[in-house]
């Protein structure tokens, strides 16, 4: 499996060697589950969500909205597997089986992610209102985080919307997703924040806080 190159590299088989802490037979099962989910559900949902956001941006631009860029992506195999493995070994009720991994795929909001980066804070507000009002997105107040009103200690600011996408209002195709909306300046800081404050694998939480 090492070094194998396929069209799924972006999602990503390149993580295979970094997941040596997962026994190889189980790792193979997880990878197959991941690739099936990506092919059958996630890529079609990603394309639909991206097109939906492009349509909303077009509507917002008639209100003076200024877009810097829009992107959407899928949580990598390595990232998802690491999270699942850590949950299964931290007393969280997740068993170390491919079945629980498949459940995580369905339950993980940021498996499918989209990011709208605008010029001004007023643009962020315009776009957030349009997203929250869309009939094909289901959400609850508890799934919204406005880091403009409740700024994190390190200055991280964004609108984070965890929602369920219902393409063409089809309940059978429901897919959880996470949409982030922020300004260009705050996007630059978010990238720096992620690199500066993420905890390296193998370093304890207590040690990382000390660092």
Counting the structural domains of the chain, the total is: 1
Q: The domain spanning residue 132 has which CATH number?
A: 3.30.460.10
Q: Are strands 137-138 and 67-74 parallel, antiparallel or unpaired?
A: unpaired
146 DSSP β-pair partners: 159
Question: How many residues are listed for the chain in this entry?
Answer: 211
Condensed to tens digits (0 to 9), the pLDDT of residues 33-46 reads: 998 888 888 999 99
**Residue 30 resides in a domain:** yes
Q: For 37-41, 106-110, 124-128, which range has the lowest pLDDT when averaged over its residues? A: 106-110
Residue with tokens 């189980």: 26
Q: What is the DSSP letter of 126?
A: H
* pLDDT for 206 beyond 50: yes
- Give the count of beta carbons closer than 10 Å to the beta carbon of residue 137: 17
Q: Is residue 1 part of a domain?
A: no
Domain residues for the domain of 95 are 9-198
Q: Is residue 2 part of a domain?
A: no
């Amino acid at each position: 499996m090492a070094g194998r190159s396929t069209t799924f590299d972006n999602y990503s088989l390149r993580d295979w060697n970094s997941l040596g802490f997962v026994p190889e037979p189980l790792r193979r099962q997880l990878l197959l589950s991941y690739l099936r989910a990506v092919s059958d559900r996630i890529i079609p949902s990603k394309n639909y969500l991206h097109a939906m956001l492009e349509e909303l941006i077009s509507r917002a631009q008639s209100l003076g909205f200024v877009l810097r860029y829009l992107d959407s992506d899928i949580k990598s195999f390595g990232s998802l597997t690491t999270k699942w493995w850590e949950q299964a070994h931290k007393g969280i009720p997740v068993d170390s089986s491919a079945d629980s991994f498949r459940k995580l795929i369905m339950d993980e909001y940021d498996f499918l992610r989209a990011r709208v980066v605008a010029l001004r804070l007023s643009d962020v507000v315009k776009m957030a209102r349009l997203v929250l009002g869309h009939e094909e997105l289901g959400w609850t107040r508890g799934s919204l985080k406005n880091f403009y009103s409740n700024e994190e200690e390190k200055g991280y600011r964004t609108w984070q919307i965890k929602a369920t996408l219902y393409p063409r209002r089809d309940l059978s195709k429901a897919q959880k997703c996470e949409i982030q909306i922020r300004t260009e300046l705050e996007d630059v800081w978010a990238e720096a924040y992620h690199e500066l404050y993420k905890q390296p694998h193998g370093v304890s939480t207590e040690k990382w806080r000390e660092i």
